[in-house]
Amino acid sequence: MPQTLGSKWAKAWKILSFRWKFGAGLVILASILISFPYFFNAIEARNGFVFEDIVLRWIPARNVSVAVFFLIWSSCLLLIIRIYRDPMMLLVTLWAYDVVTLVRMASIGLISLNPPAGLIPLSDPITNQFYGQHYITHDLFFSGHTTTVFLIFLCLKKKTDRIYTLFASLTLAVLLLVQHVHYTIDVLAAPFFTYAVYRLTLIFTKSENALIFAAGQPV
């Protein structure tokens, strides 16, 4: 007999480690969001170096912001629809996002880059509320947009969801280059960092997944 939404969450919430990992993940996420304006304002004030990107040299810059944010927010909406019914998917997504964001912030802090030539700034009223400025252009290595959608692809389980979000992440990577928002290395590196963090998160949440699975088995 299929489990109801309430029963799934009730079984997950009975597991002590699930509760504290979920709570700790939310605290870390809140801390990250609070720190975003200060962090990005600081890195925006730096003067870094510019790559000679042979790929961007051959791509005329075009404003494709509408397509970029359609892919991002449609993928996020799909994830929201799925995770509220799946406690483990939510826990994995939460921790993977926390860790990969911290890794990305460390990478940006260590590698100071100026934006590519011909950059057309992306404008999104939702993310700008967290970034603290209208246009952030120095958050380059590695691409946060590509990371986010690729992480959603990894965390989703339904085949059609994964096909769409994989398509979205690949298309998004290309569009970011078309708008000259990132260097080629920024979008190529993002899936590797994201996948590594995702695999570590699966190990970190392995015991909770096993306990929830066992709780759902008939006696």
Give the pLDDT of residue 188: 97
pLDDT tier at 219, thresholds 50, 70, 90: very low
In a domain, residue 104? The reply is yes
Q: Burial level of 40, CB count in 10 A (0-12/13-18/19+)?
A: buried
| Domain membership of residue 144 as a residue range | 9-215
In a domain, residue 4? The reply is no
- Write out the two tokens for 140: 């380059």
In a domain, residue 155? The reply is yes
pLDDT tier at 211, thresholds 50, 70, 90: confident
pTM: 0.90
Q: Half-sphere exposure of residue 16, counting CA atoms within 13 Å on the CB side? A: 0
Give the pLDDT of residue 52: 87
pLDDT digits (tens, 9 = 90+) for 19-66: 999 999 999 999 999 999 899 999 998 998 888 899 999 999 999 999
In a domain, residue 2? The reply is no
pLDDT tier at 191, thresholds 50, 70, 90: very high
Mean confidence (pLDDT) of the chain: 90
In a domain, residue 1? The reply is no
Q: Indicate the number of domains in the chain.
A: 1
